[in-house]
Structure 1
Amino acid sequence: SVGKVCLQQFRYLLLGKTHTVILTRCLSQVAPRPEPSAEPNEDVSPTFVNRNPRNLEQMALAVKDRGWKTTWPHQQFYHRLMFSRSQHHVTAEVFSRSSPIPVLSCSTKEWALKKELPSTSCVAACQAVGEVLAHRCQQAGITRMVYREIPWTYRSDGVQAFRNAMKQGGILLSEPRRKYVGT
C-alpha cells in the first residue's frame, strides 16, 4: 500500500561467496508542489527601466531622424548599408544613425578575403563580401538595415550577387516603419 516500505532480499554469487542484498522500495504519492510565496524581494518593480540601448529600435519605436527632404541618401534609418565598387576593390559598410564611423565593414582589401578570390573586383568578390558581412551582422545582432542603392548601378550582376548573399545570410534589407505610440 501507499507509504509502506517493502523489503526484499536477493542473493547472488560473487567470487564463490554468497551475499545478501536488501533492496528497499518506497511506494509513495507525488509530492505536492509548494505554493509560490510573494516576498517583497521578488516583486516586479512598477518603474522597470530596460537598459538595452537597441530595444526601442528593434521594436521600431525609437526616433528616426528625418533630415532634409533634399538630402540624398535619406537620413531616416537605424542602420544603413553602403556598398561601393571601385576598379580594384569591393567595400560594404554598415552605419548607425548616430555615428558617421561605420559600425561594421567588409572589404576585399582584407587579406583573409583577398587570398581566397581570383579577383578583388569581380562578381564572386561581391558575393563573398555579402556573405562575410551578413555573418558579421548576425554576430553583432543587426538583422535589419536600409539599403538604397544608386539607381543606375542597381541592375549590375555584382550588386545583385551582393544583395542575394546578404538575404541568404539572414539580413533583411529594409527596416520597419516607425510606430508612433499615443501618450
Structure 2
Amino acid sequence: MLIGTRPLLRQALWRWGHTSAFGTEGGSRTLTEMNGPSSYIDEVETPMGPNDELIRTHVKNRNPRNLEMMRIGYKPSGFKWERKYRQFWNKLELDITHKHTKAQVVHWSGIRVCHASTQEWSIRKFLYNTTDAVALEAIAKVIAQRCLQVGVSHVFLELEEEDLQKERMNRFVDAVKEQGISVGEPHKYRQTEPHVRLYEFKKSIQPWTVIDDEK
C-alpha cells in the first residue's frame, strides 16, 4: 500500500459505511449496521506486516560526501573563460603572506573543510621562519593529516609553471603526496550513452566495480 493513501481510504470507507450496501430501497442495511461502526476502520489501521510501521518517508544522508567519493556526485563545470578554475570537488589553496603561511581545503560550495596555519602555536613553536620551505613542508603535513581525518583523499591543486620552479613549492607538493593525499581529482563518472558511437565516447569503469589484482 502506498504511503499517504491510508487517510483517504479510511475516509472513503467511512462514507461508504453510512450508505446502503445493497441499494436504497426497503430491506437494505448499511455497512455500519452489519459489521459495526469501526470494524473496517480497525482493519485498515492494522499493520499488514512486521515492517509496515518501520517504513520512513524521509531518509537523512549522514555522509554527504559519499557521492563525490564514488565519482557520481555533482561537480561544477564552470565556464571556459573564467579566471578561476571551478571544476573540482575539493580545492587545496595555499596563501603565503609576509608573516605567515596558510593552507585550506575548500569545497566547491564554499564550505571550508579544513585548514592549517603558522598562526597556530602548536605549529609556530617548531619553526624558525614562518614563510620558508620548512614552514611550507610542515603546513603540508598538517593539512594532509587533517584531510585524511575528515575523509578527503583527493584534492585539486592549481599550480602554474612558475610555481613548480620554486623549491619550497616542490617540497610542499611532495609532503602532501607523502602523507597519502592525491594532488588531482579523478574525472566524474559518465554513463555510457547507447546512442553515441563507441569511438566518440570513451567507456569508463564504474566506481563501484571491484577489480581483482592479477597474481
TM-score of the superposed pair, with normalisation by structure 2: 0.59
Q: 1:98 aligns with which of 91, 95, 109?
A: 109
Write the letter of the residue equivalent to 2:191: V
Following superposition, the deviation at residue 135 of structure 1 comes to: 0.7
Aligned position for 2:73: 62
1:73 and 1:148 in contact (8 A); partners too: no
Structure number with higher relative contact order (C-alpha < 8 Å, ≥ 6 residues apart): 1
Where does structure 1 differ by over 6 angstroms across 4 or more consecutive aligned residues?
A: none
1:106 and 1:129 in contact (8 A); partners too: yes
Alignment identity in percent?
32
Once the two structures are superposed, residues 92-127 of structure 1 have per-residue CA deviations (whole angstroms, 9 ceiling, x without a partner) of 11000111x422111111111111101101110000
Once the two structures are superposed, residues 115-168 of structure 1 have per-residue CA deviations (whole angstroms, 9 ceiling, x without a partner) of 110110111000000001111111111010111123322221111111111101
CA–CA separation in structure 1 for the residues paired with 2:122 and 2:135: 12
CA–CA separation in structure 2 for the residues paired with 1:56 and 1:72: 27
The more displaced of 127-136 and 104-113 is: 104-113
Aligned position for 1:79: 90
State how 1:139-178 maps to structure 2 within 5 Å.
139-178=149-188
- Structure 1: where are the runs of 5+ without partners? 1-39
Aligned position for 1:111: 121
Write the letter of the residue equivalent to 2:190: Y
CA–CA separation in structure 2 for the residues paired with 1:152 and 1:102: 27
Superposed CA RMSD: 2.4
CA–CA separation in structure 2 for the residues paired with 1:85 and 1:136: 19
Following superposition, the deviation at residue 50 of structure 1 comes to: 8.4
Write the letter of the residue equivalent to 2:78: G
Following superposition, the deviation at residue 73 of structure 1 comes to: 2.6
Q: How many pairs are equivalent?
A: 140
Following superposition, the deviation at residue 71 of structure 1 comes to: 1.3
TM-score of the superposed pair, with normalisation by structure 1: 0.69
Once the two structures are superposed, residues 32-64 of structure 1 have per-residue CA deviations (whole angstroms, 9 ceiling, x without a partner) of xxxxxxxx76xxx9xxx7823111100111121
Aligned position for 1:133: 143
CA–CA separation in structure 2 for the residues paired with 1:103 and 1:54: 11
- Structure 2: where are the runs of 5+ without partners? 1-49, 194-215
